[in-house]
Amino acid sequence: MQPLSIFDMDKTITRSATFGPFLGYAVPRYRAWRVLLAPLVALTSLGFAIKLVSRGRLKEINLALMMGRRIDAAVLADISRGFAGFTLARNSLAGALARVEAERAEGRRVVLATASYAFYVREIAKLLGVTDVIATRTTDLDGSVSPRIAGENCYGPAKLRMVEDWMAEERITRAGRHIRFFSDHVSDAPCMEWADEAFATNAHAPLRALAAERGWAIIDWR
């Protein structure tokens, strides 16, 4: 059975989060006038900070604010391809990219599992030579894309459920299959506990502490 190596993306493979930079890249190329709405993003972020808005709802609201409630699918695909190249050139960690290649060279199946929106994660994955992506999905409309999340936001315990659902769809059994999981954030603890090997990569303090307690490997690619 082919072993799996599952990587988070933001701050694991990239230096920083990608959603804000995606909006910064996309808005001038799509509906530049919406830059005027950027101050409202600060208000929605405040709503999240005081727990009036969930993490998933925050993404939906901010994508709708900055790109509209119906985003042209073809244009979004073009922008996502450009953003993928921009991300790997400006916001990737060489050590992480090397580790992805090393895992593949071992004969392992490499997977990206991330809370970021799938429409641009898939393009980043293509440039990495990664076929398998588990990410937050948007709702497809007729020739356009809605910011509304289809299913769950791929974060925390939901990420593990989505990984298990993907495995079921791919007819990949868990029993006897060696799985590695790489992440920077303690929200991925459910996936890391479930994996055979967990790697705290570029970890923030809570994950670093948990990794020390659990005996997980700690790696810093920054």
Write out the two tokens for 206: 């809570």
Residues paired with 94 in a beta bridge = none
> What pLDDT is recorded for position 135?
98
- Listed in sequence order, the residues at least 6 apart from 2 whose beta carbon sits closer than 8 Å to its beta carbon are 107, 108, 109, 177
41 vs 212: CA distance, rounded Å: 36
Query: Three-state SS string across 130-188, please?
Result: CCEEEEEEEEECCCEEEEEEECCCCCCHHHHHHHHHHHHHCCCCCCCCCEEEEECCHHH
How many other CB atoms sit within 10 Å of the CB of residue 61?
19
143 vs 81: CA distance, rounded Å: 18
> In this structure, are residues 94 and 222 in contact, taking their beta carbons and an 8 Å threshold?
no
> In this structure, are residues 195 and 219 in contact, taking their beta carbons and an 8 Å threshold?
no
> What pLDDT is recorded for position 42?
87
Helix residue ranges per DSSP H, 68-114: 73-90, 94-105
Count of residues for the chain? 222
Residue 111's nearest CA partner among 195, 9, 15 is 9
> What pLDDT is recorded for position 116?
97
> What pLDDT is recorded for position 189?
98
- Element (H or E) spanning 127, and its range? helix 118-128
76 vs 123: CA distance, rounded Å: 11
208 vs 218: CA distance, rounded Å: 7
Pairing state between β 71-72 and 144-150: antiparallel
> What pLDDT is recorded for position 171?
97
C-alpha to C-alpha distances, 163 to 49, 66, 94, 211, nearest whole angstrom: 28, 29, 26, 21
67 vs 90: CA distance, rounded Å: 23
Q: What is the mean pLDDT of each run of 10 residues along the chain (222 residues)?
A: 97 97 96 92 89 93 96 97 98 98 98 98 98 97 95 98 98 96 98 98 97 97 94
